[in-house]
């Protein structure tokens, strides 16, 4: 890993507003003495502006908020959706294509592609999740094919300003039979992705304070996307320190 690690917290549909503020403040204080890292907190949509404001007085520049999703449509009659232009100036990053969106909301690589284009248009960095459902000999090929579809029509320069989060679905903690991937396995996939796409690659899937180093020591992995373990500010700060 070359540059400062990028550590992203994906709080998913968890936290009350009070929990979110307490955790965010604790992370902010914990980050004051550490500046060789970039930390992005992705809370539920409703808490975004509130947490972004918490970082406005005495801002910690290496801390920002990100969205967990964005609409694939630009604007208009799409009940319940949040557009990229609404997120502009509030978030620096947005997660797209997460496997939970694929499983529960049937999102396709084409939807992710539209989302990336709208995010880039609004100067928000997409964190593009990809990962195979099952581990087998075709996994790597499948991941590559999906990334090609997801980045269709997007220039090399724009791809370079995005982040790929390699998240094998079998390793995500919400999967009942989840097992974290090994550093060697993730490095192999990240290396292949790096040969094909000039972009930052981070790993996600049951990352915690005990295993984070296994991933961040890998040459082609530049950080982590952390779900469950990011809900505890204490554990998340340990992950950041170890990264
Ligand atoms: P996990 O989630 O760290 O709880 O496995 C990661 C993710 O789903 O992004």
CA angle centred on 148, ends 164 and 123, rounded to 5° = 50
- How far CA 138 is from CA of 78, 103, 205, 236, in Å, comes to 37, 20, 19, 33
Please give the number of the atom of ligand 1 that sits closest to the Cα of 230.
Answer: 3
Q: Which of 100, 107, 132, 167 is catalytic?
A: 167
Tens digits of residue pLDDT in 2-41: 579 999 999 999 999 999 999 999 999 999 999 899 999 9
- Which residues does ligand 1 sit against, CB inside 6 Å? 10, 167, 172-173, 204-207, 225-229
Residue 181 has pLDDT above 70, yes or no: yes
Predicted local distance difference test score (pLDDT) of residue 22 = 98
Mutate to test the pocket of ligand 1, among 228, 229, 231 (most ligand atoms within 8 A of CB): 228
Predicted local distance difference test score (pLDDT) of residue 2 = 55
Buried b (16+ CB within 10 A) or exposed e, 173-184: bebeeeebbebe
The structure's pTM equals: 0.96
User: How remote is the C-alpha of 91 from its chain's centroid?
Assistant: 13
Nearest to 97 by CA among 10, 28, 221: 10
Predicted local distance difference test score (pLDDT) of residue 177 = 86
Separation between Cα atoms, residue 115 and residue 175, nearest integer Å: 25
Residue of minimum CA distance from atom 3 in ligand 1: 227
Mutate to test the pocket of ligand 1, among 8, 9, 10 (most ligand atoms within 8 A of CB): 10
Where is 9: in which H helix or E strand?
strand 6-10
**Cβ-proximal residues to 117 (8 Å cutoff; 6+ apart), any chain:** 153, 154
Q: Is 191 a catalytic residue?
A: no
Tens digits of residue pLDDT in 52-71: 999 987 889 999 999 999 99
Nearest to 190 by CA among 207, 81, 182: 182
Q: Is 81 a catalytic residue?
A: no
Domains in the chain, ordered, with CATH?
A: 6-242 (3.20.20.70)
């Amino acid at each position: 890993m070359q540059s400062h690690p990028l550590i992203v917290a994906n709080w998913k549909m968890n936290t009350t507003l009070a929990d979110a503020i307490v955790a965010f403040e604790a992370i902010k204080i914990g980050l004051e003495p550490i500046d060789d890292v970039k930390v992005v907190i992705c809370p539920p949509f409703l808490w975004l502006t509130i947490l972004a404001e918490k970082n406005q007085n005495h801002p910690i520049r290496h801390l920002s908020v990100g969205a967990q999703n964005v609409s694939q449509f630009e604007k208009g009659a799409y009940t319940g959706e949040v557009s990229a232009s609404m997120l502009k100036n509030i978030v620096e990053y947005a997660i797209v294509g997460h496997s939970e969106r694929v499983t529960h909301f049937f999102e396709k690589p084409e939807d992710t592609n539209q989302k990336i284009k709208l995010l880039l248009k609004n100067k928000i960095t997409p964190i593009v999740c990809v990962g195979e459902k099952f581990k087998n000999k075709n996994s790597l090929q499948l991941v590559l094919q999906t990334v090609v579809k997801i980045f269709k029509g997007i220039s090399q320069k724009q791809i370079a300003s995005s982040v790929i989060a390699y998240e094998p679905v079998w390793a995500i903690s919400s999967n009942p039979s989840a097992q974290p991937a090994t550093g060697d396995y993730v490095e192999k996939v990240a290396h292949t992705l790096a040969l094909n796409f000039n972009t930052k690659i981070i790993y996600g899937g049951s990352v915690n304070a005990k295993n984070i180093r296994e991933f961040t020591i890998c040459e082609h992995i530049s950080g982590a996307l952390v779900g469950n373990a990011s809900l505890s500010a204490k554990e998340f700060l340990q992950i950041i320190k170890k990264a």
